[in-house]
Amino acid sequence: MKVLIVGGVAGGASAAARLRRLDEKAEIIVFERGEYISFANCGLPYRIGNVITEDSELVLQTPESFKARFNVDIRTLSEVIKILPEEKAVTVKNLQNGEIYKESYDKLILSPGAMPIKPPLPGLDSNKVFTLRTIPDTLRLKSYIDSKKAKKAVVVGGGFIGLEIAENLINDSLSVTLVEKMPHVLPTIDEDVAWDVHDYLIKCGIDLRCNTELVKVVDKDEGIDVVTSNDTIHADLVVLAIGIRPESKLAIEAGIACNERGYIIVDSAMRSSVDDIYAIGDVVAVKEFVTGTSASIALAGPANKQGRIVADQICGIDSRYQGSQGSNVIKLFEKTLASTGITERFAKSQGIDCEKVHLYLSNHASYYPGAEFMAIKIIFEKGTGRILGGQFFGGTGTEKRCDVLAVAIRAGMKATDLVNLDLCYAPPYSSAKDPVVMAGMAIENILTNKVKVTHWNELNKLDKNKVTFLDVRTKGEYADGHVEGFINIPLHELRDRLNELDKEKPVYVNCLSGMRSYVACMILKGHGFDCTNISGGYRLYKVMTKFYKTQENNR
């Protein structure tokens, strides 16, 4: 059996290695347009910030080491320029000598990946404008920064790569302005989590410009002018991190079915619409696990799994890709942002009747040194309790909680099942009630009607004359800031001051994060009041009103 693989790095290299483990006699050829067959794509930004100090550390396997271990014919600097399905062959161009030749196959695996988006705007062909997708891209950017002694950069795009590049440019002593077209960074989180992230990024030194669109760049003798929809920013260099598009031109020309965005359509066995041709990695559309909708999820984990599945299929093992829930994590200076499943925004776009909880909990026992708050948002379906997604922002242990929720989603657990999780506990690592378990308890209270919940943006819909707004924080906290119209009765005084509240009016209760207000609601409910807890409390209200005020100022 002869198997050709177009593209290495994550998916292609994984497929080649698995194929060899399963079949010692198969002829396996990998074509890679670049000079590197397997490199740490996700580690590239960290070379810019000198976290990774040597270029060689980015290379995971050389053609020679891959050949020695797996007996795979690795052909770097070799570009597949045409697929000939009727002949079961591909046309290849040797980029070193220009030779063009054909290579036949029994099975063909497409793993060409994706390319950075470079919009047709004036000035983007300047040698001061960079993208970051390969090792040569990284070396070129690093060399420019060092040789020109660059001091200021503009990063265009607030996705994973844009944020990682921004952080690492700051680590390399550059000042950074980040331009993002959308209202907030990262499409994998909702705005009520994003603004916490925004505040933190600004504190870390990033000049963040959301609702700001790139118009053009103008090369200058000294540096470059970045013209946006709001103003002009002068810098030494620009890094484009706007997004990616699939490298599917070969597939389209060969008549392989792709969707409207150019992603190759595959089934659960990663088979394309053409016999004996498979596709994996950033170039394919896959099933989004929570909703079953089609999605493009460019992450290394799914690409590696897909490579393994294709190898299994070719060798007669009926492995299937079960879909991706997009679990992801990003380091942002000293904090971590992680998410899994779908956002509230996407759930609503799919017509799902969803609810959410916001919690601000310590990452470990509060009395143990170094404890810090973690912001948690979990989205679930109202009628069923099905977990739809979660977003986590905090310090040590943040990604652990996200991983726990990712497993719960994959296992089909209900949100109420989180209460019964038996998770590790010791004061340096968690609390006796882990944050994920606490989230499950909060959701159980809602689903079993122990407490009603509302959200910060629903308060202005209420008639202040027909309800009571109650803040149960301390007098000092209330004096430092509160929502207009809320009266203050500290929680520890509430039972003795119930006569100050009108039982004929529903009571909406606020505290800092929603925890004390929940306790207050249970007290009030026990005394015959109609009570609703405000999820996320004053902390979330303050964050979001600031967010929307900033949005208005930027328009």
> Looking at per-residue confidence, does 263 or 456 come out higher?
263
Indicate the DSSP class of residue 324: B
Q: What is the per-residue pLDDT for 545?
A: 84
Half-sphere exposure of 490 (CA within 13 A, CB side): 8
Identify the band that residue 36 occupies on the pLDDT scale cut at 50, 70 and 90. Answer: confident
Identify the pLDDT of residue 437: 97
486-506 mean pLDDT: 97
CA atoms of 147 and 141, how far apart (whole Å)? 10
Query: ∠ at Cα 256 (254, 261), nearest 5°?
Result: 115
Nearest to 325 by CA among 255, 379, 361, 246: 379
Q: Taking 60 as the threshold, does the pLDDT of residue 355 lie above it?
A: yes
**Spatial distance between the Cα atoms of 209 and 187, rounded to a whole number of angstroms:** 16
C-alpha separations of 191 from 184, 186, 197, 319, 555 in Å: 7, 9, 10, 38, 17
Tell me what pLDDT residue 155 has.
98
Q: Provide the token pair at 99.
A: 């030779």
Q: What is the residue-averaged pLDDT of the chain?
A: 94
**Is it the case that residue 380 has pLDDT exceeding 90?**
yes
pLDDT digits (tens, 9 = 90+) for 65-83: 888 899 999 999 999 999 9
Instruction: For residues 116 and 124, give the distance between their C-alpha atoms in angstroms, rounded to a whole number.
Output: 13
On the question of pLDDT at 506 being above 90, the answer is yes
Q: How far is CA 274 from each of CA 86, 249, 255, rounded to the nearest angstrom?
A: 10, 15, 8
**Closest residue by Cα to residue 243 from 303, 171, 188, 316:** 188
Neighbours of 31 (CB within 10 A): 25
List, as one string, the DSSP characters of 250-289: HHHHTT--B-TTSPEE--TT-B-SSTTEEE-GGGEEEEBT
pLDDT at 513: 92
**In this predicted structure, what is the pLDDT of residue 554?**
58
Tens-digit pLDDT profile for residues 213-234: 999 999 998 999 999 999 999 9
At 555, the pLDDT band (50, 70, 90 cuts) reads: low
Q: Which residues of 365-390 are buried (b: 16+ CB within 10 A; e: fewer)?
A: beeeeebebbbbbbbbbeeebbbbbb
The answer to whether 153 touches 176, Cβ cutoff 8 Å, is yes
- Which pLDDT value is given to residue 53? 86
Backbone angles phi, psi at 450, to 5 degrees: -75, -30
| Over residues 130-155, mean pLDDT | 94
Consecutive H or E run containing 434: none
Task: With cut-offs at 50, 70 and 90, classify the pLDDT of residue 550.
Answer: low
Nearest to 390 by CA among 435, 349, 428: 435
CB 120 within 8 A of CB 15: no
Dihedral angle sign, alpha carbons of residues 395, 400, 401, 405: positive
What is the percent of the chain where pLDDT is above 90?
Answer: 89
pLDDT over threshold 90, residue 347: yes
Mean pLDDT, range 370-378, rounded to an integer = 95
Averaged pLDDT, 76-94: 97
Question: In the predicted model, what is the mean pLDDT of residues 455-476?
Answer: 94
pLDDT higher for 41 or 23? 23
Closest CA to 390 of 239, 137, 188: 188
Q: Which residues are catalytic?
A: 42
The span from the CA of 543 to the CA of 163, in Å, is 21
Nearest CA to 387 out of 369, 375, 402 is that of 402
Chain Cα centroid distance, residue 296? 13
DSSP 359-372: EEEESS-TTSTT--
pLDDT tens profile 195-209:
999 999 999 999 999
Q: Could you read off the pLDDT of 160-216 as tens digits, one per residue?
A: 999 999 999 999 999 999 999 999 999 999 999 999 999 999 999 999 999 999 999
CA atoms of 81 and 78, how far apart (whole Å):
9
Burial class (CB in 10 A: 0-12, 13-18, 19+), 519: middle
Is the confidence at residue 41, as pLDDT, over 90? Answer: no
Cβ proximity of 544 and 470 under 8 Å: no
Nearest CA to 19 out of 4, 7, 32 is that of: 4
What pLDDT sits at residue 159? 95
Phi-psi region of 193 (alpha: psi -120 to 50; beta: other; left: phi over 0): alpha
Q: Report the amino acid identity of residue 208.
A: L
pLDDT of residue 2 exceeding 90: yes
User: Which residues contact residue 420 at a Cβ distance below 8 angstroms, ignoring those fewer than 6 apart?
Assistant: 440
DSSP secondary structure string for all residues of 210-249 = -S--EEEEEE-SSSEEEEESS-EEEESEEEE-S-EEE--H
Higher pLDDT, 391 or 52: 391
pLDDT of 257-272, one tens digit each? 999 999 999 999 999 9
Taking alpha carbons only, the member of 1, 309, 262, 287 closest to residue 112 is 262
Q: What is the pLDDT of residues 145-156, one digit of tens each?
A: 999 999 999 999
* Residue 516, pLDDT score: 96
Question: Average pLDDT, stretch 314-325?
Answer: 96
